[in-house]
Amino acid sequence: MSILEWMPFSVLLPLLAAPVCALLPGRVLPWLLAMISVTASAVIMAFVLPEAVQAPMRYFFGDWPPPIGIEYRVDAVNGFIGLLIALMGTVILPWGRVSVNREVPQRQGLFYALFLLSFAGLMGITLTGDAFNVFVFLEISSLSTYVLVAQGRSRAAPLSAFRYLVMGTLGATFYLIGIGLIYIMTGTLNMVDLAERLPAVADSGAVQAAFGFIIVGIGLKLALFPLHRWLPGAYANAPSAVTVFLASTATKVAIYVLLRLVFTVFGLEFVRQMPFAEVFFVLGVIGILFASLWAVEQDNAKRLLAYSSVAQVGYMALAISFVSVAGISAGLVHMFNHALMKAALFMCVCTVIYQVGSPSISAFNGLGRKMPLTMLAFVLAGLSLIGVPLTVGFISKWLLIEAAMDQGNWFAVVVVLIGSLLAVLYIGKIAEAAWLKPTPEGHETIREARPALLLPMWLLVAANFYFGIDTRLTADVARRGAEMLLGVSP
C-alpha cells in the first residue's frame, strides 16, 4: 500500500478502534488499544506530511471522484495540523492514564472509546476536503467531548458540559446554516469546487449571510472573544486528561477550519470585500487584553490557564486579521507552539491537582520545594508562554510582531507586548506561590509526582525549547501553508 492509501487511516484507525474499545473490560486493554491507534495515526501523519508539502494528496472515498464523493485532501496546512493533533494525542494518553484511573475509575472502556471518537473527529475535520464532512466530524468530536467533560469529578462538571453543549450546538447549527446557504447557491460541497463556483455568486446576499453564519459558528467553536464563555468552565471541570487534550487540540482545529473556509473556499477577493479583517482585529485585541486581565484575577489555576487560552486565541485572531502571508504563517506557528506550551502548563497544574488535591492557587504554596521537577517544568513552560527567547513563545511573538510591523501597525505591537506583560503577571502568580511562599501546614507529606506523569511533561517542555531553536519544521511549513491558503505561488 502506498502512503496515499494509508493516509485516511490516520482518521479511520481511531474511528474503527472506538467501538471495540467500548466493549473491552478492565483498565489496561482499552487504554492500550487507544494508545496503539493514536500512535499509528501519528506515524501515518509523520509520513504523510513530507509528501503533502510537495503536492496535495487526494483520497477519494469509495473511489467516487469528487464532487460526487467525499475526498480527503491533505496539503501543507492540514498535514501540519493533523500531525500536531496526532502527536499531542500520543503524548497525552500515557500521561492521562494515571489521572484517568483516579478520576474515572469505572467503565474506562467507554471513556477511551469517547476519547478515540473525539480524536478521530478532530483528525477528520482536519483532513477532509468536503465542507459538509467537516460538519459531520465536528459533531462527532463535539458530542464525544461534551460527554468527556461531564466525566469530571466536581459537581460543576455536568453543568459546564451542558453549557458547552448549548454553545457548541449553536455553533454547529450556525455552521450548518452557512454551508446550507452556499450549497443552495453553488450546488456543491467540495471545497475546491466551492472555491471555483463562489466568485460568480459572490455579490448575492445569501453568500454574504453564509459567510457571517460560518464565521460566527466557528467563532463559537474556537472560543473567540466574546463567544468564549463556555471555555473556562469546560476546561476547569473536565477530567485532567481531557483538559490537556482539549486545550492543545480543539481550538486549533477550529482555527484551521476558519482559515480553510475563509481563504480557500471564499477566497481573498471576497474576504477583502467583507469586514473580516477589521472584526478579527478588534476582537483579537480585546480578547488578548481582557482575557489576560481575567486570567490575572483567577484563584483557580486551571481556570487561570483557561482564560489564558482565550487570550492566545486572540493572538491567533490578530495574526489572521493581517490577511498577509506573514500574518497567517504567524497564526499557524502560534497554533502549533501554543499547543506545546499550553499542554505542558496544563499537565503541570493537573499533576499538582493529582498530588495535592486542590486546583486553587493557594494549594501551590511552597510546592517548589516539595515538587521541584513539576514546578520547574511549569516555570519553563510559563516562560515559553510569556515569550522569552529560546522558547517557542518567542518565535510566535517575533513572527506576529514582524507581521504587524510589515503593515505599520504599531498598535498591534503594543497590544502584543501588553499581553506578554500580563502573561508575566498570571504565570508569576503561580510561580511566586510555588517558589516564594512558605509551605502550609499539612502539606509536609506531599511528594514529587511519579515518573509516568513527569516524563510526558518534560518531553513537552523539551519540545518547547527544541522548536524554539530549530524552527525549520514550524516556520517553514507554516509559511508554505500560508502561501497556499492565500494563493501566492511559493
In the complex with another protein, the residue whose CB is nearer, 72 or 263, is 72
Residue span binding another protein (CB under 8 A) among the ranges 7-15, 96-104, 323-331, 464-472: 7-15
First to last CA, the chain: 31
Determine contact, residues 185/211, Cβ cutoff 8 Å. Answer: no
Segment contacting another protein by CB under 8 A, of 53-61, 73-81, 95-103, 439-447 = 53-61
162 near another protein, judged by CB under 8 A: no
* Cβ proximity to another protein, 1 vs 55, nearer residue: 1
Q: How far is CA 288 from CA 21, 262, 316, 370, 379, in A?
A: 40, 22, 10, 34, 21
DSSP string, 72-121: EEE-HHHHHHHHHHHHHHHHHHHHHHHHHHHHS-S-HHHHHHHHHHHHHH
Could you say which of 60, 132, 162, 465 contacts another protein (CB under 8 A)? 60
Tell whether residue 47 is a contact of another protein (CB under 8 A). Answer: no
Nearest distance in Å: CB 239, another protein: 20
All three cell numbers of 174, joined, read: 450556525
Q: Which is nearer to another protein, 110 or 353 (CB)?
A: 110
C-alpha cell at 488: 501566492
- Answer for which of 2, 26, 55, 62 binds another protein (CB under 8 A) is 62
Q: What is the distance between the alpha carbons of residues 357 and 371, in angstroms, rounded to a whole number?
A: 14
**Which residue in 29, 43, 58, 61 binds another protein (CB under 8 A)?**
61
CB neighbour class for 293 (10 Å; exposed up to 12, middle 13-18, buried from 19): middle
Say how many residues touch another protein, by CB under 8 A: 16
DSSP conformational letter for 128: B
Site residues for another protein, 285-304, by CB under 8 A, read none
Cα–Cα dist 433/310, whole Å: 23
Cβ proximity to another protein: between 137 and 435 the closer is: 137
Q: Does 63 bind another protein (CB under 8 A)?
A: yes
| CB neighbour class for 197 (10 Å; exposed up to 12, middle 13-18, buried from 19) | middle
- Choose which of 10, 14, 15, 87 interacts with another protein (CB under 8 A): 15
Residue 8 lies near another protein (rule: CB under 8 A): yes
CA distances from 389 to 233, 331, 344, 398, 466 (A): 32, 18, 18, 9, 12
Binding residue for another protein, selected from 3, 23, 421, 469, defined by CB under 8 A: 23
Q: Does 105 bind another protein (CB under 8 A)?
A: no
Interaction of residue 136 with another protein, rule CB under 8 A: no
Interaction between residue 59 and another protein (CB under 8 A) = yes
Comparing CB distances to another protein, the nearer of 70 and 306 is 70
Q: Which span sits near another protein by CB under 8 A: 20-28, 75-83, 206-214, 364-372?
A: 20-28
Binding site for another protein (CB under 8 A): 1, 5, 8, 12, 15-16, 18-20, 22-23, 59-63
